[in-house]
Structure 1
Amino acid sequence: MRASFASTHDSARGRRFPEEESAHRSCFQRDRDRIIHCSAFRRLKHKTQVFVEHEGDFYRTRLTHSIEVAQVARTIANALDLNTDLTEAVALAHDLGHTPFGHTGEDALHALMAPYGGFDHNAQTLRIVTRLERHYAEFDGLNLTWDTLEGIAKHNGPVAPLGPDGTLVGKIPHALAEYNAEDDLELHTHASAEAQVAALSDDVAYNNHDLHDGLRAGLFTEEEIAELPIVGDAYAEVDRKYPTTDAYRRRHEALRRVFGAMVSDLIDTSREKLIGSGAQSAQEIRDLGRPVIAFSDAMWSDLKQIRAFLFANMYRAPKVMEQRARVTLAVNELFPIYMDDPTLLPQRWQGDVAGAEGETPLARLVADYIAGMTDRFALQQHARLTGRDVLKGMWPGDGVS
């Protein structure tokens, strides 16, 4: 039984290109399935979160991260009597627009695209699912429901406020503004509760798995993270309950408790906010003017401390910073190569190249191509076009001292 404020299949706003409904799947189930089967989703297997794929096969990739986020989101949505299918669709799609090399690649591409409107991975996700995926005979993109597109565009909150004249105020990412001009996603409001769940499930997943990956990479120790809020209590509980367990099981048991604490807090706090909102429909959730899915103030404060620790000891660790500099160089050198000679783009892109009138449309195509690359393919293309391996010498055994 879903809550009155949950999104429903019957009240979904439909697709831009009308289609017959499936006899066996709801509209949001079809959205989820189309996302899973699209090319961009498969490529997430070889796009990493923090570490470049070259370094090891046990670190999280964008694909494993997206699956973890979807699992957390579905659990939370079910506990809150929300629409689990819509929640899962948004969660699975949320990272489709990420570049190779994680946020490092995005930062580099955003700087390169500054003269042409910039680059934003959330907006790029929308561009992928509405334009760049080209598998269906009757339309470009995946023709997802308005509700799923809305969740992708603004799961992190309103994109821009409305001005006195009823138009959006402020700078909107180019790809998002381009699509919104054709299909209004109401960028001034919050998204559905389901999309809000997907957004904070992302926080739950990466805070937990970045601690795990950082430990495996040797960037910090268990003694150091045991000083953090939530984490220290989790380790203490494991030590009391399993005093003789081995180190690997101890770590797993502690971090799963951290995970559980975040999820439980998010469910309890959000349930109170949803009930207190008085909303009786998904649209009323959008129109509230405030989020209804949230951590408690105490949990949010603790998570900020964990995030600050990860920023200092993982995302800005010397080893990671060296890696960031090298892959940034690769992106910085690939972009002008394709801009100077767009015939280097694949044959199936040449029709778009021919139709790109002016430098900005061409830059958008080059950004689309580079953003779609996996870590491995970007490094291969850079080496092929420049004759250099930017990562050579970073790891033992690659022939360079």
Structure 2
Amino acid sequence: MRASFASDPDLARGRRVPEDESSFRSCFQRDRDRIIHASAFRRLKHKTQVFVEHEGDYYRTRLTHSIEVAQVARTIAGALYLNGELTEAVALAHDLGHPPFGHTGEDALAALMAPYGGFDHNAQAIKIVTSLERHYALFDGLNLTWETLEGIAKHNGPVLGELPHALADYNALHDLELHTHASAEAQVAALSDDIAYNNHDLHDGLRAQLFTDAEICELPIIGPAYAEVDAAHPGLDADRRRHEALRRVFGVMVADVIDTSRHLLVTSGAASAEDIRHLGRPVIRFSDPLRADLQSIRDFLFTRMYRAPAVMEIRAEVTRVIEDLFPLFLDRPELLPKHWGESIVAAAGDRTMLARMVADYIAGMTDRFALQEHARLVGNTPRAGGRISHA
């Protein structure tokens, strides 16, 4: 059973290129399946969250993160009687546009692309699923439904002001109504992203010995979770104690979103997915007290993990990799893959078009391939992370 404000596949706005729909899959299920089979989705296996991909087998990658986000999103969508298939499709696709080396790679590429229309990973995800994936006979991209594309583009809220070129180019062809909020399903995907990365960054930071269990016990939500585990399981070994505590933190976040959002949905008066888009405010949220607690956790992670000296040293090294490769390919486009030949010819004399092509190529690289290409073409490639402890 779905709520009246859930996205109904029978009322979907369709695909840019019309297709006969499946007789045994909904349009949103088909979108989800196409995303899972996309080359860009497979490459997430070797793209990092915070740590460089080869640093350790236990750290999260973009692929494991996307799977975790999808799992949380399905749970929340089910509890709120939303469309789980659309929620999962947006969740699985939300990080497709990330370049190698996590947010560090995006920051470097955004700076390099500033003169050429900018770079944004959400906009790049739209470009991937509408153009860069080229496997189907009748169209470039995945030809996803309007609702899935909308969710990828604006799951974090309306996209206002000057648009990144990749999003502006597609939106000119297929209006995603960027000024409104997305569906409740896409909003669930966005909050599930927050839940997943807050939880697994705590796990990964502890494993990397950037901080200790005792230190995070000083934080809201986390300290009470450890105390609860200690009361229920005295003498539990350190690894099990940590896991039991952090799964409770995870549960607190999920339960809070469900309780808060259920109230917001009921009191919104929305009777359709379209009503959700035009409320002018999000309906999937943390409660105010929990949001304040999570900000304390984020502030801790920013200082002790994202800006830890060992991580900052890696950030500097991988930034140099991107900064070396970008101008090299821009000045010598013949180094790009041979199958890009026609596009290179089309971009002849147009440095902006060529720069955007180079950004597409670099953004599609995995961590290991970027390091390999840098070693092959530039040399003196950093180890990019060998100094972080692999507990």
TM normalised by structure 2 equals 0.98
State the alpha-carbon separation in 2 of the partners of residues 250 and 394 from structure 1: 28
Equivalent residue for 1:242?
A: 233
Once the two structures are superposed, what CA deviation does each residue of 1:23-80 show, in whole Å capped at 9, x if it has no partner?
1110000000000000000000000100001211110000000000000000000000
State the alpha-carbon separation in 2 of the partners of residues 58 and 384 from structure 1: 28
Equivalent residue for 2:381?
A: 389
Equivalent residue for 2:205?
A: 214
- Within 5 Å, which residues of 2 pair with 1:120-159? 120-159=120-159
Equivalent residue for 1:360?
A: 352
User: Is 1:318 aligned with 2:285?
Assistant: no
Question: How far did residue 153 of structure 1 move?
Answer: 0.3
State the alpha-carbon separation in 2 of the partners of residues 249 and 22 from structure 1: 45
The 3-state SS of whatever aligns with 1:10 is: helix
Equivalent residue for 1:165?
A: none
User: Is 1:192 aligned with 2:183?
Assistant: yes
State the alpha-carbon separation in 1 of the partners of residues 384 and 291 from structure 2: 40
Question: How far did residue 394 of structure 1 move?
Answer: 4.2
Equivalent residue for 1:273?
A: 264
* 1:377 paired residue among 361, 364, 369: 369
State the alpha-carbon separation in 1 of the partners of residues 385 and 87 from structure 2: 43
State the alpha-carbon separation in 1 of the partners of residues 290 and 379 from structure 2: 49
User: Is 1:346 aligned with 2:332?
Assistant: no
The 3-state SS of whatever aligns with 1:171 is: coil
The 3-state SS of whatever aligns with 2:173 is: coil
The 3-state SS of whatever aligns with 2:276 is: helix
Structure 2 contact 52–384 (Cα < 8 Å) conserved: no
- Tell me which amino acid in the other structure corresponds to 1:260: G
State the alpha-carbon separation in 2 of the partners of residues 393 and 18 from structure 1: 47
Q: Which runs of 5+ in 1 are unaligned?
A: 161-169
User: Is 1:171 aligned with 2:177?
Assistant: no
State the alpha-carbon separation in 1 of the partners of residues 159 and 294 from structure 2: 24
State the alpha-carbon separation in 1 of the partners of residues 339 and 40 from structure 2: 16
Structure 2 contact 229–241 (Cα < 8 Å) conserved: yes
State the alpha-carbon separation in 2 of the partners of residues 374 and 15 from structure 1: 30
The answer to which of 346-355 and 316-325 deviates more is 346-355
Question: How far did residue 391 of structure 1 move?
Answer: 1.8
Once the two structures are superposed, what CA deviation does each residue of 1:267-317 show, in whole Å capped at 9, x if it has no partner?
000000000001000000001111000000000000000000000000000
- Within 5 Å, which residues of 2 pair with 1:108-119? 108-119=108-119
- Within 5 Å, which residues of 2 pair with 1:34-45? 34-45=34-45
State the alpha-carbon separation in 1 of the partners of residues 165 and 292 from structure 2: 33
Structure 2 contact 55–388 (Cα < 8 Å) conserved: no
Question: How far did residue 393 of structure 1 move?
Answer: 8.7
Structure 2 contact 314–385 (Cα < 8 Å) conserved: no
Once the two structures are superposed, what CA deviation does each residue of 1:81-110 show, in whole Å capped at 9, x if it has no partner?
000000000000000000000000000000
TM normalised by structure 1 equals 0.96
State the alpha-carbon separation in 2 of the partners of residues 395 and 65 from structure 1: 23
User: Is 1:87 aligned with 2:79?
Assistant: no
- Tell me which amino acid in the other structure corresponds to 1:133: E
State the alpha-carbon separation in 1 of the partners of residues 11 and 182 from structure 2: 15
Equivalent residue for 1:9?
A: 9
Question: How far did residue 173 of structure 1 move?
Answer: 1.1
| Number of positions where the alignment pairs a residue of Structure 1 with one of Structure 2 | 388
Equivalent residue for 2:286?
A: 295
Question: How far did residue 395 of structure 1 move?
Answer: 3.6
State the alpha-carbon separation in 2 of the partners of residues 281 and 212 from structure 1: 39
- Within 5 Å, which residues of 2 pair with 1:9-28? 9-28=9-28
Equivalent residue for 1:228?
A: 219
Identity over the aligned pairs, expressed in percent? 75
State the alpha-carbon separation in 1 of the partners of residues 194 and 384 from structure 2: 33
Question: How far did residue 396 of structure 1 move?
Answer: 9.2
User: Is 1:46 aligned with 2:50?
Assistant: no
CA RMSD of aligned residues (A): 1.1
- Tell me which amino acid in the other structure corresponds to 2:179: H
State the alpha-carbon separation in 1 of the partners of residues 154 and 34 from structure 2: 20
Question: How far did residue 171 of structure 1 move?
Answer: 1.0
State the alpha-carbon separation in 2 of the partners of residues 130 and 13 from structure 1: 16
State the alpha-carbon separation in 1 of the partners of residues 247 and 382 from structure 2: 37
Displaced runs of 4 or more, over 2 A: 392-397
Once the two structures are superposed, what CA deviation does each residue of 1:223-272 show, in whole Å capped at 9, x if it has no partner?
00000000000000000000021111000000000000000000000000
Equivalent residue for 1:60?
A: 60
Equivalent residue for 1:183?
A: 174
Equivalent residue for 1:304?
A: 295
Equivalent residue for 2:106?
A: 106
State the alpha-carbon separation in 2 of the partners of residues 362 and 127 from structure 1: 16
CA 1:238–1:99 in structure 2 vs 1: closer, same or farther (change >3 Å)? Answer: same
Question: How far did residue 392 of structure 1 move?
Answer: 6.9
State the alpha-carbon separation in 2 of the partners of residues 396 and 336 from structure 1: 30
* 2:243 paired residue among 252, 258, 261: 252
The 3-state SS of whatever aligns with 2:16 is: coil
Q: Which runs of 5+ in 2 are unaligned?
A: none
State the alpha-carbon separation in 2 of the partners of residues 50 and 44 from structure 1: 13
The 3-state SS of whatever aligns with 2:300 is: helix
The 3-state SS of whatever aligns with 1:181 is: helix
State the alpha-carbon separation in 2 of the partners of residues 67 and 256 from structure 1: 16
Question: How far did residue 375 of structure 1 move?
Answer: 0.2
